[in-house]
């Protein structure tokens, strides 16, 4: 539904702009560009470095979660072994302790996922900030009126000549 609305909005904007430029005989031709931001992120040095850092952070968190899961499994095994020789009151106390540990594990797992997602969000925002002046520069050089995100809008077809992704990668890599 969201993509349908976005497609209709894009089509409406293009129709209005095409109609207005067709009506004005001295108006310059309407120029549209496109960029695949995911492609630029995967192929530029800045993007590759951020993706590697995100992967390393994710692996570290995965190892921590696995370690905590092993501790929880060990605690559960001990509870099962010891429960036969314990009083009902002691069993209830151990079960409560185990449930508390399980709840802490679940929270730890959720926190780890939230940290990974926050890091991804920061990367996305920082990358777009770095990319914005480059897209602006290329757009002005090419006389573009709009630049659409290929991976974000419901674009069915585009001419490869309007795709500025490779040029963005080169210029982003050229920046210190």
Listed by start position, the domains of the chain span: 31-174
Query: Is the whole-model pTM more than 0.75?
Result: no
- Between CA 99 and CA 134 the distance in angstroms is 53
Please give the pLDDT value at position 8: 47
- Between CA 7 and CA 103 the distance in angstroms is 44
CB 176 within 8 A of CB 47: no
Tell me how crowded residue 167 is: count the other CB atoms within 10 A of its CB.
18
Please give the pLDDT value at position 24: 45
pLDDT averaged per 10 residues, the chain (length 176) = 52 52 55 88 93 95 94 87 82 87 94 95 92 89 84 65 86 88
CA–chain centroid gap for 3, Å, is 18
Please give the pLDDT value at position 27: 54
Please give the pLDDT value at position 117: 96
Please give the pLDDT value at position 23: 46
Please give the pLDDT value at position 84: 77
Please give the pLDDT value at position 104: 94
CA separation (Å) from 79 to 83, 88, 106? 6, 12, 19
Q: Which candidate, 175, 166, 172, 128, places its Cα nearest to that of 35?
A: 166
CA separation (Å) from 72 to 64, 66, 88, 114, 148? 12, 10, 22, 21, 49
Please give the pLDDT value at position 147: 84
Extended strands (E) in the chain = 32-35, 146-149
Class of 31-174 in CATH:
alpha beta
């Amino acid at each position: 539904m969201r993509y349908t609305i976005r497609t209709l909005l894009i089509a409406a904007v293009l129709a209005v702009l095409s109609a207005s430029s067709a009506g004005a005989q001295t108006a310059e031709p309407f120029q549209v560009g496109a960029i695949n931001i995911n492609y630029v992120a995967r192929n530029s040095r800045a993007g590759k470095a951020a993706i590697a850092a995100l992967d390393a952070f994710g692996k570290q968190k995965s190892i921590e979660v696995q370690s905590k899961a092993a501790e929880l499994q060990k605690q559960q095994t001990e509870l099962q072994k010891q429960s036969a020789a314990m009083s009902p009151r002691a069993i209830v106390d151990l079960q409560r302790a185990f449930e508390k540990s399980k709840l802490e594990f679940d929270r730890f797992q959720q926190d780890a996922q939230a940290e990974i997602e926050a890091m991804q969000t920061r990367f996305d925002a920082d990358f777009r900030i770095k990319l914005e002046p480059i897209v602006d520069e290329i757009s002005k050089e090419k006389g573009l009126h709009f630049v659409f995100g290929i991976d974000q809008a419901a674009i069915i077809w585009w001419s490869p000549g309007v795709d500025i992704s490779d040029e963005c990668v080169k210029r982003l890599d050229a920046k210190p």
